[in-house]
Amino acid sequence: MSQCLDCHELDLDAILEQVRPLLGKGAVADYIPALAKVSGNKLGMAICDIHGNIYSAGDANEAFSIQSISKVLNLTLAFNIYGEALWEKVGREPSGQAFNSLIQLELEKGIPRNPFINAGAIKVCDLLTTRLSAPKQRLKELLWDLCGTKSISSNRIVAKSEREFSDRNAAMAHLMKSFNNFENDVQQVLKVYFHACAVEMSCIELAKAFSFLANQGKSAITQSQVVSSRQSKQLNALLATCGLYDQAGDFAYRVGLPGKSGVGGGIVAIVPGECSVCVWSPELNHFGNSLAGSEALSIFTSELGRSIF
Amino acid sequence: MSQCLDCHELDLDAILEQVRPLLGKGAVADYIPALAKVSGNKLGMAICDIHGNIYSAGDANEAFSIQSISKVLNLTLAFNIYGEALWEKVGREPSGQAFNSLIQLELEKGIPRNPFINAGAIKVCDLLTTRLSAPKQRLKELLWDLCGTKSISSNRIVAKSEREFSDRNAAMAHLMKSFNNFENDVQQVLKVYFHACAVEMSCIELAKAFSFLANQGKSAITQSQVVSSRQSKQLNALLATCGLYDQAGDFAYRVGLPGKSGVGGGIVAIVPGECSVCVWSPELNHFGNSLAGSEALSIFTSELGRSIF
Amino acid sequence: MSQCLDCHELDLDAILEQVRPLLGKGAVADYIPALAKVSGNKLGMAICDIHGNIYSAGDANEAFSIQSISKVLNLTLAFNIYGEALWEKVGREPSGQAFNSLIQLELEKGIPRNPFINAGAIKVCDLLTTRLSAPKQRLKELLWDLCGTKSISSNRIVAKSEREFSDRNAAMAHLMKSFNNFENDVQQVLKVYFHACAVEMSCIELAKAFSFLANQGKSAITQSQVVSSRQSKQLNALLATCGLYDQAGDFAYRVGLPGKSGVGGGIVAIVPGECSVCVWSPELNHFGNSLAGSEALSIFTSELGRSIF
Amino acid sequence: MSQCLDCHELDLDAILEQVRPLLGKGAVADYIPALAKVSGNKLGMAICDIHGNIYSAGDANEAFSIQSISKVLNLTLAFNIYGEALWEKVGREPSGQAFNSLIQLELEKGIPRNPFINAGAIKVCDLLTTRLSAPKQRLKELLWDLCGTKSISSNRIVAKSEREFSDRNAAMAHLMKSFNNFENDVQQVLKVYFHACAVEMSCIELAKAFSFLANQGKSAITQSQVVSSRQSKQLNALLATCGLYDQAGDFAYRVGLPGKSGVGGGIVAIVPGECSVCVWSPELNHFGNSLAGSEALSIFTSELGRSIF
């Protein structure tokens, strides 16, 4: 397995300067007031290599709402608990549709296409709720395991705001329940879901947290073996095909790495065997992915000469 | 770039023996008589590493109908001609639907989701027809460039049989034309499309032909630089997200390689920087992918310890 | 306006005997235990002409769960309150889809196609909840106005059972809410909806209750002018195009009358200017309409020589 | 059966003056050049009562392209030939979708929802082609039977223009063929279809032609019994539920009559037992129905005090 000899040679500041002209050309998520207030001109980037070395630039130390990036963390918990049986409840195919669509969910009788569209992520929270007495606490413990810090927390105001605008997600949960693919109280599960979405982390913390996917399942920070080497590859496969909403193909084409985005403007990507990388820029394109963030990752892989392809 | 030091240690015969019990559990494609006649118990596998070394087992020398695997070859021709402008006419996102569905094509106003569903592949043939005076001849020349042999040909009986049952594909072409995304005569383009589907190649020939995608765009057999290194990665990205019909996520999860299947029972997969591999077993699962073939590839990547993730 | 001179000549018992062989060939609704217990061999029919004369046969005096027939009653209340403004919130086109589908509701941004599919009927209950302090009580008063009896009531056990299996309906309500087309608490509105579904009436009571639609908006029993003559025609138009789930066209073709069915096995139909008719047979066809009931109505219109066409 | 005593009292000129302000607010069909040239300020209306009396106003004598109104005429021919067996090949339910959509046609495996959406009308032409040696000539003979004149003809330039822009319809035909619900050569059938669409008739001629549907299947002009009394009611049922594209419910609500529209701007409607009526105004609303024409019919039924409801 080759090492990430080149990361220290990358000029992350220069990458950020190249994409800074994109600021002002996207739109900050505004479906809840708490997110709409974020300044659009934030820009940060951090890399964590498999030896735990950190490289960063811009607003890499500022915590932001990780939103859908949390879906990978909850999935990691559920995959550990359920193993392969998980896939009887959630599919692992790209949806070809918007992340919050109910159409496919109805046609496919309540089985969400994958764990990264909303319906699938809510189903994962349902499964966690069935087996864990305190799923929100368990997520915190996972982050501790991954980053070695207890300081990460969920923003209660954001979580509460999400729940006030949660009808689309509640519709999905009830639809799954009508197909006998939902086990717990809808509102209880949505609390777990929104708590995770409202977790706030910086680029550096996210790069650290996701180092296990670059390092055969073992955190490069704490050396904790979070999932098996095989499971780590499988999670990366899911990220590569389903991680960027309905723009997964474009991201594979332009960036060439497994990744996961959130409407808070963060994107995490993995160079298997080398490093994890996180960018943050709150303005989104119309797919809901960070505009400057995805461009920064495209430059990153071009300059590094790395992609999984 | 690491070399494929391990391929010669793989026991391909043993892999085929492991999957042989699956024979009889799938179904040979029967939508045209010419394909329905193929014996279900064929089983072959071949590897071509980036040095041009060939490893093979079973019926690896027997030619079969490459069917949708040809979509990658036509796409390669079109990508060379049109470059990035190609993507104004064809998308590069997974469809989340059956390969021959018209639903998304109508909703998305005649722009096919990707070049590997039927509508997209037919659109690629339309684009080739616009620019090339003899697109069928040009495909032959590409195969010559890739494999170093002029002996590969298209089966006229199969092509004719396809055209007799081509209404679904004709419907797609006319629907694209109604949205002004089709430039040539429908029947003329379908001839180009079916000619390519009816090309017959063996596992060894296919492994050779696809070695350029493992070798930064250069054929490991003829040393011809077919596409640029960057384009080679981009083609692999498309294969990884869209190459296995509506089973791309599952294939990424289980096999972990870019790949392309055909209803003739062939599957080609790429280990970037190392080798290309082809398996053949005519019986399909209900997604239209070779049942034993995809299992053989899953064992292959497990034993080799390779995947892109 | 011609009078219903012929109804007394109809042999309703003979009609019921003609359709009795169909008993056993459909299926009683079983989505809630309370309905599944109903005996499949019930069969009743009643006519109320515009002079208030009643003709009946079979189990015409036995009360059953009126289910979706109640949608017409709630719509009558809402139409009286909102007038034409109602149609900004609910459409009046046939859906071409199953009565409980969310697909069209998502594509058409939370505006239900018509007031007789579930989403539309729930939206009507939402509108009633906004304007009425006691919508359930108001429905009872309407029935009193229509039939001249206070004895009609809703079955609490059925209503409670419906609420326990209400996830599909809750999904619709939340989806409408996510599109800003829902004003009240989802559970509160569903209580109003299920209370109406669980109302129990006999064929005779239903024929009486719907006489206003045959009599230019005025009850033939109590002479109460429930809606205007114009509104009565408009309600009949809605029944003719949308009243029989996704079988409205077939019902128009075979029976030729405006009508409304319920999964309790009741069907009400209107001969404008002449009479209202109700049949009851609990076994349903796969569209959710009474099998023997719709056949009885077909014979009824053939023998009477009446249809709106 | 009551007679149309009141038609002679209607002031058709006054009705046309009421709707004339709508001219300029719709859009003339422009999908083929031959139709786009029609002047938008044409306005005509004609009534034919069951005694053959004609009442007319405005441009009632000017021939226009009947377009989809022809679907009723071809259906009448096919219904006569095939009887009830026709419905194995074409449904009779409203589609809830655009008249030229392929989505439902794919989901419902090539059986068109009804004979008035394009797919259904083309299927009717396919059935005519199977049984008739000269289906275009047979349509002319039907018009002769209905109107008593041989002077009606199809505009060759319009028919040719339609065929040049026929890809959407060809897509439907090929899709049906792929589901084994199409018997003849696609282009041959489309010729029959477009020939009928391009027939040119005046309001007076259309009112005469459709009098059989008001008169129990017998032409009020020639006394020819074109279909049985029962079939006449059944055709009216189809018109009432499916005749106005995806606006059938609205037309039933506002006008309250069975009817059929065409993108040439004509609408025919039936008052069963009394009269047939035709309006013409080329500007369409976004459903493809004549804007002023449907308003004129709404005033007509209000003033006449007639509707089927």
pLDDT digits (tens, 9 = 90+) for D247-271: 999 999 999 999 999 999 999 999 9
Using CB atoms, which chains have 3+ pairs under 8 A with A? B, C
- Find the CB nearest D309 among C237, C248, C249: C237
Summarised one tens digit per residue, pLDDT across range B152-179 is 999 999 999 999 899 999 999 999 999 9
Summarised one tens digit per residue, pLDDT across range A59-78 is 999 999 999 999 999 999 99
Residues of A in contact with B2 (CB under 8 A): 2
> Active site includes D2?
no
Summarised one tens digit per residue, pLDDT across range A37-54 is 899 999 999 999 999 999
Q: Single out the catalytic residue among A193, A218, A281, A298.
A: A193
Q: Which of D280, D262, D260 is CA-nearest to residue D270?
A: D260
Q: Single out the catalytic residue among C19, C28, C56, C68.
A: C68
Summarised one tens digit per residue, pLDDT across range C158-215 is 999 999 899 999 999 999 999 999 999 999 999 999 999 999 999 999 999 999 999 9
Per-residue pLDDT, averaged over C148-155, amounts to 94
Interface of B with D (CB under 8 A): 101-103, 106-107, 167-168, 170-175, 177-178, 182, 186
User: With 80 as the cut, is the pLDDT of residue B269 above it?
Assistant: yes
Q: What is the mean pLDDT of chain D?
A: 95
% of chain A beyond a pLDDT of 90: 91
Q: Single out the catalytic residue among A28, A55, A56, A71.
A: A71
Q: Which residues of A are annotated as a binding site for substrate?
A: 68, 118, 162, 169, 193, 245, 263
User: With 80 as the cut, is the pLDDT of residue A1 above it?
Assistant: no
ipTM over 0.90: yes
Q: Annotation-wise, does B82 bind a ligand?
A: no
Q: Annotation-wise, does C263 bind a ligand?
A: yes
Per-residue pLDDT, averaged over B86-110, amounts to 94
Q: Which of D290, D302, D281 is CA-nearest to residue D260?
A: D290
> Active site includes D193?
yes
- State the pLDDT at residue B27: 95
Residues of C in contact with A170 (CB under 8 A): 170-171, 174, 186
Count how many pairs of residues, chain A against chain C, have C-beta atoms within 8 Å.
50
For the domain made up of A7-304, give the CATH fold. Beta-lactamase (3.40.710)
- State the pLDDT at residue A6: 67
CB spacing of B175 vs D177 below 8 angstroms: no
Provide the shortest C-alpha distance from residue A260 to chain B (in Å): 15
Q: What is the mean pLDDT of chain C?
A: 95
User: With 70 as the cut, is the pLDDT of residue D5 above it?
Assistant: no
Cα–Cα dist C259/B7, whole Å:
72
Per-residue pLDDT, averaged over A224-234, amounts to 97
Per-residue pLDDT, averaged over C279-300, amounts to 96
User: With 70 as the cut, is the pLDDT of residue A15 above it?
Assistant: yes
- State the pLDDT at residue B206: 98
Provide the shortest C-alpha distance from residue C33 to chain D (in Å): 32
- State the pLDDT at residue C298: 97
Summarised one tens digit per residue, pLDDT across range A118-173 is 999 999 999 999 999 999 999 999 999 999 999 999 999 999 999 989 999 999 99
Residue D35 pLDDT level (bands cut at 50, 70, 90): confident
State CA B36 to chain mean position distance: 20
Whether residue B79 contacts residue B272, with contact meaning beta carbons closer than 8 Å, is answered with no
Per-domain boundaries in chain A: 7-304
Catalytic residues of B: 68, 71, 193, 245, 263
Whether residue C96 contacts residue D104, with contact meaning beta carbons closer than 8 Å, is answered with yes
Residues of D in contact with C253 (CB under 8 A): 92, 234, 237-238
- Provide DSSP, chain B: ----TTGGG--HHHHHHHHGGGTTSSEE--SSHHHHTS-TT--EEEEEETT--EEEEESTTS-EE-GGGHHHHHHHHHHHHHGGGGGGTS--S--SS-TT--HHHHHTTT--S-TTSHHHHHHHHHHHHHH-S-HHHHHHHHHHHHHS-S--EE-HHHHHHHHHT-HHHHHHHHHHHHTT---S-HHHHHHHHHHHHTEEE-HHHHHHHTHHHHTTTB-TTT--B-S-HHHHHHHHHHHHHHTTGGGHHHHHHHT-S-EEE-TTSEEEEEETTTEEEEEE--EE-TTSSBHHHHHHHHHHHHHHT----
Q: Which of B294, B292, B224 is CA-nearest to residue B43?
A: B292
User: With 60 as the cut, is the pLDDT of residue B1 above it?
Assistant: no
CB spacing of B249 vs A241 below 8 angstroms: yes
- Three-class secondary structure assignment of C177-218: HHCCCCCCCHHHHHHHHHHHHCEEECHHHHHHHCHHHHCCCE
Q: What are phi and psi of D287, to 5 degrees?
A: -90, -5
Whether residue B271 contacts residue B214, with contact meaning beta carbons closer than 8 Å, is answered with yes
- Find the CB nearest A94 among B2, B234, B241: B241
% of chain D beyond a pLDDT of 70: 98
3-class secondary-structure state, position D309: coil
Q: Single out the catalytic residue among C193, C218, C277, C290.
A: C193
- State the pLDDT at residue A2: 39
Q: Single out the catalytic residue among A19, A28, A65, A68.
A: A68
Summarised one tens digit per residue, pLDDT across range C14-26 is 999 999 999 999 9
- Find the CB nearest B114 among A92, A242, A249: A249
Provide the shortest C-alpha distance from residue C31 to chain A (in Å): 11
- State the pLDDT at residue D32: 85
> Active site includes C71?
yes
Whether residue A283 contacts residue A24, with contact meaning beta carbons closer than 8 Å, is answered with yes
User: With 90 as the cut, is the pLDDT of residue B306 above it?
Assistant: no
User: With 80 as the cut, is the pLDDT of residue B6 above it?
Assistant: no
Of the listed ranges C71-80, C184-193, C258-267, D297-306, the one predicted with least confidence: D297-306
Residues of D in contact with B177 (CB under 8 A): 167
What is the b/e burial string over D89-112, where b = at least 16 CB atoms within 10 angstroms of the residue's CB?
bbbbbbbbbbbbbbbbbbebebbb
Residue C6 pLDDT level (bands cut at 50, 70, 90): low
User: With 50 as the cut, is the pLDDT of residue B2 above it?
Assistant: no
Summarised one tens digit per residue, pLDDT across range D42-101 is 999 999 999 999 999 999 999 999 999 999 999 999 999 999 999 999 999 999 988 899
Provide the shortest C-alpha distance from residue B216 to chain A (in Å): 9
Interface of D with C (CB under 8 A): 2, 91-97, 104, 113-114, 232-234, 236-238, 240-242, 246-250, 252-253, 256, 258, 272, 307-309
Total-model pTM: 0.94
Whether residue B159 contacts residue B223, with contact meaning beta carbons closer than 8 Å, is answered with no
Residues of C in contact with D114 (CB under 8 A): 249
- Largest Cα separation within chain B, whole Å, is 54
Cα–Cα dist C132/C134, whole Å:
5
